[in-house]
C-alpha cells in the first residue's frame, strides 16, 4: 500500500480512487469473515469479482498510459512488459498478459466498458478481443455486431465456451461463410501449435527421468485416451489381479505407469531406422543374469536395469537381448522375430481356445501368446512352443519363474 502521495496527483479522479481503495483495504485487513452468513457470502463473492474486473480494467488503462509516456525508457527497460514486471514484481509472463490486455481493451471499446462495469472479467475480455480481431478481410464489417453478440453471451458462458462461440460467430451473423472462417482459424491454430511443439527429458541420476512436453491438442487427446485405456481399472485388474485398483479414476501415478507401458509396448516395426537399423533398444546382460543372477543389466543407451526388469523386458517388450561373456564379448544377439504372426496367433487360438492356466478360462481373444520355452533362452516363435495366457496369468507366470528359479513354469 502507498503511504503518502503528492497533492497534485491525488487531485486526479484515478488517484483519489486508488487512495480511497488503499485506505479502505487497510481497514479491512483484520475484518473477520466468519460472521458473514451463507446468503451474504454468496452475494459478496460475485460482487467482488465484478469489482476486481473493474480494477483490472483501470490497471490496463494505466499500463497503456505508462507505455504512451515511455516509462520503460526512464529505467532502460527493453519493453513495457519488462518495465511492468520490474515495478510490480510480477513474473514476465504475467506482465506480458497484462500488457496484451491493455492493448486489447484499447482496441475494443465496448469490451473495455463491459469490463470496467464488471460485466466481463479479464479472461473473457481477452477471448472476445481475439475472436473479434480474427474477423479480418471480408468479415471486418461484422466486428461491431460480433463484439456485441459475444458480450451478451459472456453473461452465460465462461472464457472457454466463449472461445468456441467466437470461432463460430459467423453462424449468427454470416452463416454462408461460417464454415470457411472456422476452418481458417483452426488451420492457423494448428500451425501455431506445430511450431510450439517441444519435448525435453532429463535423468536425475537416481533412477528417475523427468520431462516436459508441449503438443497440439489433437495429439494430446489421443495420448490421453491411450493412457486412460491402459490405466483403466479393467485393464489393471486383468494384469495385476483383483484388489490392486482402489479408485475408478486413474491417478497421476497410474497414468505414469500407463505411459511406461505404452512406451514399452509400442511396435518397434513402426519406428523409422537409425543408422541403418530400426530404432531398437538392446538389453546387454551376462549369461548368469539372464539365467537368474543378480548382476545389473544395461540398455545400449547406457541406462542400468535391475536383473528382474531386464529379464521381464527381454521377454515382454520389443527388445533384443544381447548375452555377453565375462570379457564383455557378445555370445548371442537375440532374434528379431519374437511376436507370433497373425496367422500363428489364429492357429494357436483355434487349438487352445482359452488361457492355459489350470484355473482360468479367459477366451483366446483376450490372451497373450506366451513362449513356453522363454524367448531369451532360445524359444521358437511357432505354434508348438506357445501357450495362451490371460494378461494376469502371463504376468504371474513371469513373477513365479523369477521367484522360484523355474525355467519353464508352465511345464509339468
Least confident of 7-21, 56-70, 85-99, 379-393: 379-393
Highest mean pLDDT among 2-6, 26-30, 385-389: 26-30
Kindly state the cell numbers that stand for 207: 533412477
Residue 121 banded pLDDT, cuts 50, 70, 90? very high
Least confident of 121-130, 212-221, 343-352: 343-352
Residue 92 banded pLDDT, cuts 50, 70, 90? very high
pTM of full prediction above 0.75: no
What span, in angstroms and rounded, lies between the C-alpha atoms of 122 and 396?
55
Residue 244 banded pLDDT, cuts 50, 70, 90? very low
Nearest to 349 by CA among 392, 379, 387: 387
Model confidence at 366: pLDDT above 70: yes
pLDDT at 407: 45
Nearest to 116 by CA among 49, 55, 64: 55
pLDDT at 194: 82
What does DSSP assign to residue 363?
A: B
Q: 127-158, pLDDT tens digit by residue?
A: 999 888 877 666 667 788 889 989 999 999 99
Q: Is 357 helix (H, G, I), strand (E, B) or coil?
A: coil
Least confident of 6-20, 92-106, 164-178: 164-178
Q: How many residues comprise the chain?
A: 412
CA 315 to chain centroid, in Å, comes to 30
Percent of the chain with pLDDT over 90: 29
Pair 323, 311: CB distance under 8 Å: no
**Mean pLDDT, range 100-113, rounded to an integer:** 94
Model confidence at 119: pLDDT above 90: yes
Model confidence at 343: pLDDT above 70: no
What span, in angstroms and rounded, lies between the C-alpha atoms of 404 and 412?
15
pLDDT at 110: 94
CA 320 to chain centroid, in Å, comes to 31
Model confidence at 66: pLDDT above 60: yes
Q: Which residues of 311-334 are buried (b: 16+ CB within 10 A; e: fewer)?
A: bbbbbbbbbbbbbbeeeeeeeeeb
Model confidence at 323: pLDDT above 80: no
pLDDT at 26: 92
**Mean pLDDT, range 37-57, rounded to an integer:** 95
Q: Where are the domains of the chain?
A: 37-193, 213-265, 277-333, 342-404
Least confident of 3-7, 35-39, 361-365, 376-380: 3-7
pLDDT at 317: 46
**Mean pLDDT, range 180-186, rounded to an integer:** 70
Amino acid at each position: 500500500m502507498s503511504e503518502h502521495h503528492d497533492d497534485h496527483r491525488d487531485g486526479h479522479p484515478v488517484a483519489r480512487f486508488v487512495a480511497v481503495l488503499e485506505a479502505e483495504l487497510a481497514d479491512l485487513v483484520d475484518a473477520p469473515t466468519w460472521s458473514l452468513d451463507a446468503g451474504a457470502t454468496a452475494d459478496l463473492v460475485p460482487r467482488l469479482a465484478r469489482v476486481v474486473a473493474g480494477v483490472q480494467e483501470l490497471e490496463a488503462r494505466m499500463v497503456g498510459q505508462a507505455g504512451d509516456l515511455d516509462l520503460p525508457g526512464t529505467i532502460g527497460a527493453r519493453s513495457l512488459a519488462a518495465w511492468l514486471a520490474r515495478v510490480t514484481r510480477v513474473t514476465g509472463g504475467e506482465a506480458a498478459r497484462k500488457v496484451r490486455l491493455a492493448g486489447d481493451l484499447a482496441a475494443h471499446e465496448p469490451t473495455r466498458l463491459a469490463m470496467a462495469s464488471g460485466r466481463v472479467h479479464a479472461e473473457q475480455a481477452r477471448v472476445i478481443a481475439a475472436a473479434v480481431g480474427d474477423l479480418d478481410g471480408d468479415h471486418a464489417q461484422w466486428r461491431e455486431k460480433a463484439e456485441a453478440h459475444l458480450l451478451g453471451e459472456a453473461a452465460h458462458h465462461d472464457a472457454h465456451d466463449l472461445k468456441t462461440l467466437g470461432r463460430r460467430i459467423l453462424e449468427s451473423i454470416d452463416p454462408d461463410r461460417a464454415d470457411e472462417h472456422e476452418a481458417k482459424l483452426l488451420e492457423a491454430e494448428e500451425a501455431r501449435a506445430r511450431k510450439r511443439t517441444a519435448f525435453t527429458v532429463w535423468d536425475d541420476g537416481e533412477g528417475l527421468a523427468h520431462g516436459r512436453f508441449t503438443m497440439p491438442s489433437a495429439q494430446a487427446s489421443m495420448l490421453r485416451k491411450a493412457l486412460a485405456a491402459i490405466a483403466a481399472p479393467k485393464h489393471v485388474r486383468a494384469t495385476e489381479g483383483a484388489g490392486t485398483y482402489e479408485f475408478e479414476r486413474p491417478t497421476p501415478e497410474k497414468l505414469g505407469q500407463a505411459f511406461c507401458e505404452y512406451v514399452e509396448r509400442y511396435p518397434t516395426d513402426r519406428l523409422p531406422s537409425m543408422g541403418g537399423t530400426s530404432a531398437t533398444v538392446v538389453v546387454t546382460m551376462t549369461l548368469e543374469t539372464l539365467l537368474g543372477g543378480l548382476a545389473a543389466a544395461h540398455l545400449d543407451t547406457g541406462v542400468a536395469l535391475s536383473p528382474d526388469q531386464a529379464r521381464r523386458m527381454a521377454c515382454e517388450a520389443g527388445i533384443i537381448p544381447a548375452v555377453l561373456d565375462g570379457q564383455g564379448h557378445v555370445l548371442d544377439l537375440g532374434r528379431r522375430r519374437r511376436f507370433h504372426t497373425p496367422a500363428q496367433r489364429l492357429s494357436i487360438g483355434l487349438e487352445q481356445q482359452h488361457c492355459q492356466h489350470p484355473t482360468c478360462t479367459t477366451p483366446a481373444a483376450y490372451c497373450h501368446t506366451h513362449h513356453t520355452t522363454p524367448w531369451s533362452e532360445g524359444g521358437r516363435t511357432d505354434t508348438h512352443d506357445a501357450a495362451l495366457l490371460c494378461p494376469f496369468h502371463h504376468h504371474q507366470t513371469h513373477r513365479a519363474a523369477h521367484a522360484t528359479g523355474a525355467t519353464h513354469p508352465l511345464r509339468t
